Amino acid sequence: MRFPTHAPTLVLALAVALPAVAQQDFSKVEIKAEKVKDGLYMLIGQGGNIGLSVGKSGSFLVDDQYAPLSDRILAAVKAITPDPVRFVVNTHWHGDHTGGNENMGKAGAYIVAHDNVRKRMSTENFNATFQRTTPPSPEGALPVVTFAEGVTFFWNGEEIRVYYVPPGHTDGDAIVHFVKADVVHMGDLFFNGSNYPFVDVSSGGRVDGVIGAADRVLAAIGDQTRIIPGHGPLATRADLQGYRDTVKTLRDRIAKLKAEGKSKDAVIGAKPTADYDAKWGQGFIKPDVFTGLVYDSLP
């Protein structure tokens, strides 16, 4: 799909989760590094937030944004450590999190992700919500190590637990827990900053999985834990709790209407999110889209 030039908000909106690299201008993007804990950083540029672990074993990335940014991302890593990137873990298959895979592979990194990330990246995907087709990724961009349930890295003096959770944002979401640093990267299971979540139904996502993932992380962390969200600023446990409670409240409202036998259009028309929209509906997932995706993904 070509982005209409007269609709900059739409361009921005789609750029967040369903990138079309050719249409985006990356020339002015700067990669900024924010220290999260000792040896642990969040890199912010364009696309999904990147996690970076540095130390005696070598650099370890969580997600890698877009291909045109790879040189800048590698330069940002080099400004922190001389060690090359050895591993990249993808939190899910979307191109704003995996677009740099091929370049990172060429730079010597091994790409690791859930089985379904490799599966989806290997084939053409059609997204019904945004009417967009994503072609298969080149061989060099595909994860070379995949897992079904999880994998643990003993790396940089850390225990890095990577684990799959049932379908939420997509059907291949992984959460990355840096146990010693007390930092969790949640990928797009968590948008921090008062945005409705993107339940990517076309990628097998389900609202109950978004809530379940938040519950699982909340049960495992404390007030000192820092959470790297897929998008938005670095977060605390309280931020995640607020997000989870909002999504649960709205999910229950929509589920009640659906259980009463109302059609999707009728539920959207009932505006079940209305009192939350001023705060939560300003991001790239608009209230009607959120309501429709929740409706579609409910059992």
Q: Which positions lie near Zn ion, rule CB under 5 A?
A: 17, 94, 188
Instruction: Choose between 13 and 17: whose C-beta lies nearer to Zn ion.
Output: 17
Q: How far is the CB of 291 from Zn ion (least distance, A)?
A: 19
Please answer whether residues 40 and 142 qualify as being in contact, where contact means their C-beta atoms are separated by less than 8 angstroms: no
Torsion of the alpha carbons at 169, 244, 185 and 128, rounded to the nearest 10: 10
Instruction: Choose between 158 and 188: whose C-beta lies nearer to Zn ion.
Output: 188
Instruction: Choose between 118 and 258: whose C-beta lies nearer to Zn ion.
Output: 118
Composition of the chain by helix, strand, coil, percent to 5:
40, 20, 40
Handedness of CA 152, 144, 207, 21 (dihedral sign): positive
Instruction: Choose between 17 and 289: whose C-beta lies nearer to Zn ion.
Output: 17
Query: Could you give the C-alpha distances from 39 to 77, 115, 187, 233, 276, in angstroms and in order?
Result: 12, 28, 20, 19, 38
Q: Phi and psi (nearest 5°) for 9? A: -65, -35
Instruction: Choose between 94 and 114: whose C-beta lies nearer to Zn ion.
Output: 94
Q: How far is the CB of 266 from Zn ion (least distance, A)?
A: 29
Q: How far is the CB of 28 from Zn ion (least distance, A)?
A: 23
**Cross-strand pairs, 43:** 33, 50
Angle, alpha carbons 238-243-248 (nearest 5°): 125
Q: How far is the CB of 167 from Zn ion (least distance, A)?
A: 13
Q: How far is the CB of 171 from Zn ion (least distance, A)?
A: 12
In this structure, what token pair is assigned to residue 231? 């998008």
How far apart are alpha carbons 56 and 36 in whole angstroms? 18
Q: How far is the CB of 97 from Zn ion (least distance, A)?
A: 6
CA atoms lying within 13 Å on the CB side of residue 123: 8
Instruction: Choose between 23 and 263: whose C-beta lies nearer to Zn ion.
Output: 23
